[in-house]
Amino acid sequence: MGHQIVAGIDEAGRGPLAGPVVSAAVILPEGADLPGIDDSKKLTPAKRNRLYDRLYTVASAIGIGVVDTVEIDRINILQATLRSMAMAVANLRPVPDHLLVDGIFTIVSDLPQQAIKKGDSLSISIAAASIVAKVTRDRIMTQVDALFPEFGFCRHKGYPTQTHRAAIMRHGCCSIHRRTFKGVREYL
């Protein structure tokens, strides 16, 4: 490709009923030794956490972007996801000269970029970003659980599980629920 500094970008949290969408941008050094790196959805939580720690040791740079539920409800989840990805890239030092973005959309950036469908299975830097984004979001949701223990966020991380849906029916919504999402808006 001829690029010197390539960043992989991915997100976590498009589908949940609660919590932020979190993106990560990761620049890996050439020849990085990272056995086990894969799409975060294919890894156990324990393996994701181990790889997250390893990535923070090995990566040349990691940038994080977080968009909260108020903004998700205001601009929609796709726009919030793309915004969090752009934030993650803006938080990288050094600045990359090429972006690999997981999915079918590119982000608002002056940097050359390529959207790669299922990129977290095809690019090690996107897979690394998927792990960082997922672990970061899971840790946020575990912290939020202390504020709203009745919803069990530490277990389901805001995803629309049967337990989470039952908690919404029983308790209504809290401040981190996505009010425009089906499964939440009916209980406002």
pLDDT at position 98 is 98
Mean pLDDT of 1-6: 80
Position 171 pLDDT exceeds 60: yes
Mean pLDDT of 135-148: 98
Burial string for 51-60 (b: 16+ CB within 10 Å, else e) reads bbebbeebbb
pLDDT at position 135 is 98
Concatenated DSSP letters of 132-151: HHHHHHHHHHHHHHTT-GGG
Domain ranges of the chain: 6-144
Mean pLDDT, the chain, whole residue set: 96
pLDDT at position 37 is 95
Mean pLDDT of 145-168: 98
Cα atoms found within 13 Å of the Cα of residue 90, Cβ hemisphere only? 12
Q: Class for domain 6-144, per CATH?
A: alpha beta
pLDDT at position 3 is 78
In sequence order, the β-bridge partners of residue 11 are 23
Mean pLDDT of 135-154: 98
pLDDT at position 178 is 98
pLDDT at position 91 is 98
Mean pLDDT of 152-173: 97
Residue pLDDT, tens place only, 97-141 = 999 999 999 999 999 999 999 999 999 999 999 999 999 999 999
Position 2 pLDDT exceeds 80: no
Helices 45-58 and 124-145 cross at an angle (nearest 10°) of 120
Position 153 pLDDT exceeds 60: yes
Q: Are the C-beta atoms of residues 80 and 72 closer than 8 Å to each other? A: yes
Closest CA to 133 of 30, 32, 35, 39: 39
Position 1 pLDDT exceeds 60: no
Residue pLDDT, tens place only, 16-51 = 999 999 999 999 999 898 999 998 999 999 999 999
